């Protein structure tokens, strides 16, 4: 189930327009590393300590909700090495899972409105 969800997200993010092979590889590596970390953590639930992989990255995004994933994607498309850190066992399970599934951009409010 998790691999299918990851594959679906990869397709959405990488097939929306023509991008360089480098960006595809970085984005796919981001998801593969994330899945690998999730898999190793769920298999070792009986232990109290986890080994933390050491990586050199340009940016760390905390939170794998709608905004966190969008920010990570934007940074990766600009050539940055990005890692996403999420405390939940899956992405989008925090606030992003309990909204109306609409990202509100404020388009209904007049310009310079404080709403």
Q: What pLDDT, on the 0 to 100 scale, is given for residue 31?
A: 72
> How confident is the prediction along the chain (115 residues), in pLDDT tens digits per residue?
555 555 565 555 554 444 455 666 667 677 777 777 766 655 555 555 666 667 788 999 999 888 899 999 999 999 999 999 888 888 888 776 776 666 666 566 777 777 6
Q: How far is CA 100 from CA 82, 97, 103, in A?
A: 28, 8, 8
Q: What pLDDT, on the 0 to 100 scale, is given for residue 30?
A: 74
């Amino acid at each position: 189930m998790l691999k299918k969800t990851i594959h679906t997200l990869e397709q959405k993010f990488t097939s929306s327009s023509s991008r360089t092979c480098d960006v595809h590889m970085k984005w796919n590596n981001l998801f593969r590393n994330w899945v690998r970390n999730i898999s190793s953590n769920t298999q070792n639930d009986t232990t109290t300590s986890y080994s933390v992989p050491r990586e050199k990255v340009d940016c760390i995004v905390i939170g794998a909700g709608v905004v966190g994933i969008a920010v990570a994607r934007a940074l990766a498309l600009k050539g940055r090495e990005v890692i996403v850190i999420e405390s939940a066992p899956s992405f989008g399970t925090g606030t992003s899972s309990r909204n109306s599934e609409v990202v509100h951009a404020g388009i209904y409010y007049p310009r310079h409105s404080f709403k």
